[in-house]
Amino acid sequence: MQAESQKINILMVDDSPTNLLALEAVLQAPDRNLVRAASGDEALRYLLDTDVAVILLDVFMPGIDGLQTAELIRGREKSRDIPIIFLTADSSGNRNIARGYSLGAVDYILKPIDPDILRSKVAVFVELFKKTEEIKRQAELLHEKNIELENANLQRLGKLIDLGQELAAERDPRQVLEKFCGAARDIIGAEHAGVGVLAENGKSLRYFCHCDECVIGDEALTSPQASEDLLDRLLAEGRPLRLSEGAGTLEAAHLSSPQVSMQSFLGSPILSPAHAYGWLYLSNKLDADEFSEADERLAVTLATQVAASYENARLYAEAQRHASELQQEVTERKLAEEARARLLIREQAARAEAERANRTKDEFLATLSHELRTPLTAILGWTHLIRGGNLDDAMMTRALETIERNARAQSQLIDDLLDVSRIITGKLMLDLRPVELASIIEATIDTVRPVAEAKSIRVRPALRTSHCVVSGDPARLQQVVWNLFSNAVKFTPEGGSVEVGLTCDERRVELEVRDTGQGISQDFLPYIFDRFRQADGTTTRKHGGLGLGLAIVRHLVELHHGTISAHSDGDGKGAIFTLSLPLASAAPDGGDGEAGEEQQQAEAAPAALATVDGKEAQQQPSPVQSDVLGGLRILIVDDEADTRELVQEVLARQGAEVRASRSAAEALRMLAAWNPDLLISDIGMPVEDGYELIKQVRAFDAEHHGQIPAVALTAYAGAEDHRRALAAGFQTHLAKPIVPKALIETVVRVAGRATAIDA
């Protein structure tokens, strides 16, 4: 039943407080909660989370009127069935009345309202709501009861299975009956239980057990727990018997032993295919006045089970067969559990792989931001300085060289991204023609040689043949060879060497690029050609790039029906890349639609407009030269020479005294020796990054510059990077590419200079 404290909600909607007060006075009752709403909007908000028995709705209201409110109420799943009684003072509004009923109104009452009529109509819906809620509660109680019964049946089933397994292991018939008797009493829930088996003559008892006692012979019939009349009836009728004192069936049985104390009785014969040769009885249900039909069915099941177990104990061969069936069941369950365990292992492996892929994606996006913003810093910074018009000829030449160098670097990054996009979408095409591979190798060596010579790296070509003609796309083959050569030079330290070998036989040509560089770890070697994978994706990595070059190389080689492999003995032991391509005479026909003379390469994506913090670069004016930072000592830390020079020049033009260092260790030494007023540090640097530097600086006391203002200057420009920089100890975070005006404003703010910057 509904609790006394739970009241029924009645929603009254009227823009007039006087009308609401009148309705409340008429409908007030202890079991009701009268809810006021001054508008349709207020009523709709209330109905979002609350059930009501009936809605009294004024037709004419400001905003959305009653009819519109009713339409919205009917449009919601939660409130569409709530009864609505319209209240109106317009007695001539037949059109409104018709529309109100079309919207599902249950009544239409004209004002002034007759209190008795209103009370009686509302009472109908209150009672209907009560009955509906009562039906819901009864349904919930029935559901809970069904769950309880289901759980009880499951427990019984479990006990039944356990009992069957226990009895199947027994070889002594008396032990079978003794264990069965106690278990049957517990499973069905009776005060007493007994089981008896007739001898071979079908008249006398061979065994009789009741509860924990088991005897042999007819003396068992003197037990007070059951009537001999009932047991004989079970054997004679061969069907279950259920009697109770409450139903009057126990007295109607005309028992010959009135001294037996029984309130309820349940018995089932133990049957063989031919006849009944025993019985199971239970008396006095523990948790009820009588045994149920479910108990009766379970007793039949138990009787059948003990019959099988008894026969199994008596006939060893049948016992072996029964044990084999149980073993088969156990085996199937075990196999199912093992299958679930294997499925769980596969699921865990798949989850780990998904998490690894997600981490790889995040690392790549961070690296992409860094690699794109780093050259933009130099390009946009020097562009702003050039626009200022204060550079001499030497500085102008240096600015243009820096812009060109970084623009080419960024162009290469964009080309790699476009190639990967074409690879993923299957749009990378080849223009096949006969190509002399040796000439491509020689041209590429000439291109890479200046970079190698700058690092004192010896390039030793060993082209044993110059007549290795393959069927390929010259531009793409040159891209493959250039990637292999430039990687070898990039990862080889100063003073190392790069060997290039070319051999061919009657079917294939093989190119080998061997370097004495840092090598490849054995853990990373299997993933060397995967997209977006780099051996070092941290902010302390020594080498730039997106980790796309070798993935592009592998795809291009496979489009040429070739193979490529990598080998390294480990870190610091160099690497060997081996490229194998079929000769033109041995190359397979290009019938797969991926290559051909009529195929054209995908069009390059249009260049994107460089932006700074969401604004076009050209919208940022260059600051004029001034003395706004005069007397301020600033230490710059960045491993990129172009960035160091740009920042130094911008700040020096504003009167600051600027010094620069290219590593965290050098910055710490300069911090102690020079006593700067402000620290500007890059985040992504080799060996020790900006986070490690600021950690060491903040570990100093105030006298040793532990509290020096610091600005994080980085191409890692995500929101998480900003939060991490502030948490590490920086006062602010400035993302690359750098706008000189924004840099100066940041320095002025962090240094506490109140002077405004001339725009």
- With beta carbons less than 8 A apart as the criterion, state whether 413 and 371 touch: yes
Compute the CA torsion angle 269, 273, 275, 276 (nearest 10 deg): -20
Q: Is 399 part of any domain?
A: no
Together in a domain, 574 and 432: yes
Pairs from 254-261 (Cβ < 8 Å, separation ≥ 24): 254/229, 255/227, 255/229, 255/230, 256/227, 256/228, 256/229, 257/227, 257/228, 257/229, 259/224, 260/224, 260/225, 260/226, 260/227, 261/224
pLDDT digits (tens, 9 = 90+) for 60-118: 888 888 888 888 888 888 888 888 888 887 665 566 677 777 776 778 787 788 888 88
CATH code of the domain containing 505: 3.30.565.10
Q: What are phi and psi of 504, to 5 degrees?
A: -155, 155
Q: Is 344 part of any domain?
A: no
Residue written as tokens 């300085």? 385
The one-character DSSP state at 640 is -
Together in a domain, 517 and 643: no
Determine the Cα–Cα distance for residues 736 and 685; give it in Å rounded to an integer. Answer: 14
- With beta carbons less than 8 A apart as the criterion, state whether 217 and 313 touch: no
- Is residue 383 helix, strand or coil? helix
pLDDT digits (tens, 9 = 90+) for 326-339: 888 888 889 988 98
Q: Please state the pTM of the whole predicted model.
A: 0.37
Together in a domain, 433 and 573: yes
CATH code of the domain containing 57: 3.40.50.2300
Left (φ > 0), alpha (ψ -120 to 50) or beta: where does 380 sit?
A: alpha
pLDDT at residue 635, rounded to an integer: 96
- With beta carbons less than 8 A apart as the criterion, state whether 170 and 319 touch: no
- How many domains does the chain fold into? 4
Per-position b or e across 551-562, b if 16+ CB within 10 A of its CB: bbbbbbbebbbb
Q: Tell me, letter by letter, the H, E, C secondary structure of 195-226.
A: EEEECCCCCCEEEEEECCEEEECHHHHHCCCC
Q: How many residues does the chain have?
A: 759
CATH code of the domain containing 254: 3.30.450.40
Q: Is 374 part of any domain?
A: no
In DSSP terms, 603 is beta-bridged to: none
Pairing mode, strands 458-463 and 107-110 = unpaired
Provide the domain limits for residue 74.
Answer: 8-137
Residues in the chain with pLDDT values less than 50: 1-4, 218-224, 254, 256-259, 317, 536-544, 590-620, 756-759
| CA angle in degrees (0–180, nearest 5) for 555-422-433 | 60
pLDDT at residue 152, rounded to an integer: 67
Radius of gyration of the chain (CA): 46
Residue written as tokens 């009135």? 258
Together in a domain, 310 and 434: no
Determine the Cα–Cα distance for residues 661 and 685; give it in Å rounded to an integer. Answer: 12
Q: What are phi and psi of 704, to 5 degrees?
A: -110, 35
Determine the Cα–Cα distance for residues 154 and 145; give it in Å rounded to an integer. Answer: 14
Q: Is 462 part of any domain?
A: yes
Q: Is 328 part of any domain?
A: no
Together in a domain, 193 and 269: yes
Determine the Cα–Cα distance for residues 687 and 341; give it in Å rounded to an integer. Answer: 44
Determine the Cα–Cα distance for residues 64 and 41; give it in Å rounded to an integer. Answer: 7
Together in a domain, 578 and 442: yes
Per-position b or e across 479-516, b if 16+ CB within 10 A of its CB: bbbbbbbbbbbbbbeeebbbbbbbebeeebbbbbbbbb
Together in a domain, 117 and 209: no
Per-position b or e across 718-729, b if 16+ CB within 10 A of its CB: eeebbebbeebb
Together in a domain, 633 and 555: no
CA 649 to the chain's CA centroid: 48
Q: Is 562 part of any domain?
A: yes
